[in-house]
Structure 1
Amino acid sequence: MAEKALDETDRRIIAILQVEGRLAIQELAARCGLSPSPCLRRVRALEAAGIITGYAAVIDQARVGLPVSVFASVKLERQREDALDRFEASVARWPEVVDCYLMTGQRDYLLRIVVRDIEAYERFLKDKLTRLDSVASIESSFALGQVKRSSALPIA
């Protein structure tokens, strides 16, 4: 699909919805200087173009009993396409992995894993990550605190 050209109004709509996804269309329209119908048409067009891919609640992970974030750098034995595909398919099934990036540099993947405690991370390593044939090494770093978290892109 061709990339949709975003005008200033589209950018304003996206910037607002990134922060306030549950905003009523009437309020969104007022803040964008539109009437509700054209505003809704623009939102639907952004959704149809795949620019807005969904809406979600932001959850405080500590308050739901998952206070530990671990960043795991994973190096595979080989970087062949089939090994990458198998690794990615496995990671996609594991709810503990909330982010996974294919990387350049010394490591192949960077994962953010969210768990209840260190013992839960140890079980995740032993039962899942280390059991993948293609994994050559894993380097884990535990987050001490979260300085910034945002899902909002710098659209404006």
Structure 2
Amino acid sequence: MSNDDTLDPYDRRILDELTRDGRVSVTELARRIGLSKSPTQVRMQRLIAEGYVQGFSAVLDQARLGRTHIAFVEVKLTDTTEPALRAFNSAVCAIPEIEQCHMIAGAFDYLLKVRTSDIMAYRTILGERVSQLPHVGSTSTHVSMQAVKDQTL
């Protein structure tokens, strides 16, 4: 993958615009960044090919889907050898309610973002799925009261 220093101002503007609206047409994108359509399309394809753009996805209305409860879960493992970490990483990916999983350097090993419909649904996921993940020793839950900033919106 290319070094970030290879991006010029047009490339950065393309990335900014795609972050705001991944469905923008190439014609509209070209207008917004001040280039013609052909060079904009070539730049966009290069940014995708070089891995600066890893994909496009829809931002869902979680409230309409009935998934407004967010909990952050600190996870401490009983074993942090490479095989144990791989087992945990693999298993956590199979739980759809876990939106994010980050390995943390600090007082605990992982931080999970878990989205469910309500506290009872979360309790079920915690007890039946999260706590049963390989090598989980303990968990600590922090419930989100409000998302003040969310880059996906």
For Structure 1 versus Structure 2, the TM-score category normalised by the shorter chain is over 0.9
Distance 1:133 1:33 in 2: 52
SS in structure 1 opposite 2:22? coil
Distance 1:69 1:56 in 2: 20
**Which residue does 2:109 correspond to in 1?**
108
Letter in structure 1 aligned against 2:62: Q
Large movers: runs of 4+ above 4 Å: none
In the alignment of these two chains, the number of paired residues is 152
Structure 1 gaps of 5+ residues are none
Give CA deviations for 1:12-51 in whole Å, capped at 9, x if unaligned: 1001110111111101001111111110111110000111
Query: Identity over aligned residues, as a percent?
Result: 38
Distance 2:133 2:145 in 1: 28
Distance 2:120 2:55 in 1: 33
Give CA deviations for 1:77-131 in whole Å, capped at 9, x if unaligned: 1211111111110111111011111101001110100001111111111221111
Indicate the structure whose relative CO is greater, using CA pairs within 8 Å and at least 6 residues apart: 1
Letter in structure 1 aligned against 2:59: V
TM-score by length of 1: 0.92
Distance 1:151 1:69 in 2: 15
**Which residue does 1:57 correspond to in 2?**
58
**Which residue does 1:3 correspond to in 2?**
3
Q: CA deviation at 1:60?
A: 2.0
Distance 2:81 2:61 in 1: 37
Q: CA deviation at 1:132?
A: 2.4
TM-score by length of 2: 0.94
**Pairwise CA RMSD:** 1.4
Q: CA deviation at 1:148?
A: 1.1
